[in-house]
Amino acid sequence: MVGAGSVGCYIGGRLAASGCDVRFIGRQRLADTLARHGLTLTNLEGQSWRVAPSAIRYSTDLAAATAADLVLVTVKSAATGDIAKGLAPVIKPGAVVISLQNGLDNAAQLAAVLGQQSVLTGMVPYNIADHGEGVFHQGSAGVLAVSTHPALAPWQKTFAEAGMPLAVHADMRAVQWAKLLMNLNNAINALSGLPLKAELAQRSYRRCLALAQREALGFLALEGIAPAKLTPLPPGWLPAALSTPDALFKALGNRMLAIDPLARSSMWDDLQLGRRTEVDWINGEVVRLAVKHQRRAPVNAKLVALIRDAEAGGKRDWSGRELLVTLRSAVAG
């Protein structure tokens, strides 16, 4: 597990709990935490798994990946290039590398450097929260997805035995864009200061997300990309569903609101910890697609700007009404 933060510790921990030989590579802070507390993993269904401190091998050195047959990359997108260069002299030829990152082109970045390995695109659909002292909680539902490749075959049983079956897709681009449409809410959630469930229960915030999604869907149509159906509703229906009154949305989006009451977006976590967010690899992807078609994406561009301002100490804890007025003004401008 390269970049073993919340996502890496959860997925790697689930694999380790099922008996896999897992090496974690990440920051010293987590190495120290897991050495004291081990890993405790929980999910929405009330299940839990435990990995004792003595069973955890956590390193801060990429050399720990030398013997790996499978490398799962979960670093932030900004670090992908450096991680690829660091892994190149370390991992053995023929190893399988799966990018489980936000953004669209991390696997391509890895593959450009790791020419002797099979590099696959993956997707983590659910929210993972770090509750401290080695406790990581899966706060929403979903199934891990990965691109079809012959090298994946030996690993499908491994993930299934860990209770994390892999959904294999021939068109991962469509899957990535479907997830990105949902992740456009990360910036809105971070700016709201609320847990995801509380934020999505308010129509004004959902209307903000609907604006961002409609904008993205328009450019995807120009690009000829049909996002995969990852929710009970087709992607094209989401903006209209999000815009409905609260009572109706609660009925329509009951499964969409199957989220732990305390779960928040990783972008909110990054703001709280003073880290640079991944907004450029989420809302910024829509902005880049607009530029490609010589258009503007004012809603998503504004969300990028508001997050950058928040990173620099600017306004946070936006009300839904304030944020909606600001985004609509960006469109009008």
What DSSP line would sit under 52-83, residue for residue? -GGG-EEESSGGGGTT-SEEEE-S-GGGHHHH
Calculate the average pLDDT of the chain. Answer: 95
Query: Which of 128-132, 138-142, 227-231, 300-304 is the most confident on average?
Result: 300-304
Q: Tell me, yes or no, whether 298 and 245 share the same domain.
A: yes
Q: How far apart are CA 169 and CA 134, in angstroms?
A: 32
Q: Tell me, yes or no, whether 166 and 206 share the same domain.
A: no
pLDDT at position 247 is 87
**Alpha-helical runs (H) found in 65-202:** 80-87, 106-113, 153-161, 172-183, 185-192, 196-200
Nearest partner of 87 among 108, 116, 58, judged by Cα: 116
Strands 70-73 and 96-99, how do they pair? parallel
Whether residue 62 has pLDDT greater than 70: yes
Whether residue 253 has pLDDT greater than 70: no
| pLDDT-derived band at 284, boundaries 50, 70, 90 | very high
Nearest partner of 166 among 14, 5, 58, judged by Cα: 14
Contact 139, 259 (CB under 8 A): yes
Q: Tell me, yes or no, whether 207 and 73 share the same domain.
A: no
List, in sequence order, every residue forming a beta bridge with 70; answer none if it has no partner: 96
- What's the average model confidence in pLDDT over 95-105? 96
Q: What is the three-class DSSP state of 185?
A: helix
Domain end, chosen from 170, 203, 236, is at 170
* pLDDT tens column, 155-193: 999 999 999 999 999 999 999 999 999 999 999 999 999
CATH of the domain at 134: 3.40.50.720
Q: Which domain holds residue 214?
A: 174-332
Q: How far apart are CA 57 and CA 79, in angstroms?
A: 22
